[in-house]
Structure 1
């Protein structure tokens, strides 16, 4: 049996895969909207002359405040939408499934209700990056480009039943029901992405965490699929994308917000030039 102390240590380490660090003060106005009958915590900036809307999707266990530094560094003429998914922060829990398809369509309803029209530049961190890939592939006509911030990709996370037993135990004990359901459906969401057509014709920047600190240690805990076929598949997903390696931890949008903002600006410039 694993002692409670050991379980706590495993939790601290396992959380690094699905990180949420303490909230920072957010100068950007956060408000509560009612969307599809549920209360959602959102940040909306909608200048009257905006030509593009930058849409943010959080990683697992992360909240809208994580984008504070990035949003502050964006050009004032772009529209912005960031939010907490149901069950995060002050956003009301929901009974709807927490698979990627449902999350993407709920996000689209929120954008429509807020009057934020396409084209969108999608920005997703970690699990949020997987959701944004699904959004872009399901609705390519609505998407101008994408920034993937140390994102998850299809098939990199195993089916939950193939997680080590101790990883499943830590997840079940320490994570909320919402987070557990999202994690349990990562593989399914990835398969939904994989079966749709590529969107490599759009400007895409992939920001990849590569810390230079010699004491940095990668963590896995048995949830990643390192099969060579999977690795090759992921590497081939976006051959035309711009790949940028950043000396950062997984929470890149907090530790390196200027790098993330610069990537967004790069995609915006490319999208505008194509119009």
Structure 2
């Protein structure tokens, strides 16, 4: 019995310290900050956002918490097109959310924020980790407005169920620690996953799934194998899906290999522009013919 207790205690400690380190890493970011931030009220929710660059399509960065997590990527993307990012409620100057938020509520709020700050589709969405769920749901909710998606080591709707089944102790510990650290919006994983499954189909648009090539502290081989299967599921959301392995990165690819994320976004932006140009040329040809 003593050995069993010791094993459980060691596991709890590994997850506790590992999860705490991860949360501190997310909060701390890379220390730099995006300039020229502004705030806007969407109903009773004050949100902080930033707009940079010019041109179409507009690249919308979905943040887990703080838009400054994109500080190595967003300014570079703004050199070749318009970009938009916001801070999630409770982070930066965004007012803490009131009560639990569903995924549906989150994407509707983002859509209103985009409209009310003067943004117009088409949009290329970029989502990292948990925010990949909102990126997934936004594309399903507004398929006529989204022309491409970049998933950056993004979450899968079924991953929480896998953890509950295969690593229940770690799942409970990490979730309880997360709830004590962030507002409920951030870790109400099941509600967001339910909204994705209830939403319409994912559109037939270019999708690039960037997957971390290095393990992180809570990885086991079983979880790593399952994570790769989840990443492949994201690729298969669209017939135009493809995967890139960021071989030198852990979970925070936008910080460790920002050029991989920038190049993926650039590829989709250029694809969208070429498609628009080709369609315009075809119409002009038919007109003059």
TM range (shorter): 0.7 to 0.9
Equivalenced residue count is 267
**RMSD of aligned Cα (Å):** 3.5
Counterparts of 1:99-248 in structure 2 under 5 Å? Answer: 99-158=102-161, 164-165=168-169, 167-173=171-177, 175-176=179-180, 178-183=182-187, 185-211=188-214, 219=219, 226=226, 236-247=236-247, 248=249
Deviations 1:161-220 (A, max 9, x none): 76624542443245446444532x323322322344433521111101112xxx865526
Indicate conservation of the 8 Å contact 2:53/2:78, yes or no: no
Please state which structure has a larger fraction of its residues in helix.
2
Paired residue for 1:20, among 26, 31, 42?
Answer: 26
Q: Which residue of 2 aligns with 1:270?
A: 271
In structure 1, runs of 5+ residues without a counterpart are none
5 Å matches for 1:73-88? Answer: 73-88=76-91
Encode CA deviations 1:116-155: one digit per residue, 9 max, x unaligned.
0111110000111111110001110111111110011221
Counterpart Cα distance in 1 of 2:104 and 2:225 = 22
Distance in structure 2 (CA, Å) of the matches to 1:125 and 1:149? 5
Radius of gyration: which is bigger?
Answer: 2
Task: Note the C-alpha offset of 1:33.
Answer: 2.8
What TM-score results when the alignment is normalised by the length of structure 1? Answer: 0.81
TM-score normalised over the length of structure 2 = 0.78
- Whether 1:57 and 2:26 are equivalent positions in the alignment is no
Residue 39 (structure 2) pairs with residue 39 (structure 1):
no
Please give the alpha-carbon distance, in whole angstroms, between the structure 1 residues aligned to 2:213 and 2:230: 20
Q: Please, which runs of 5 or more residues in structure 2 have no aligned partner?
A: 277-289
By relative contact order (CA 8 Å, sep 6+), the higher-ranking structure is: 1
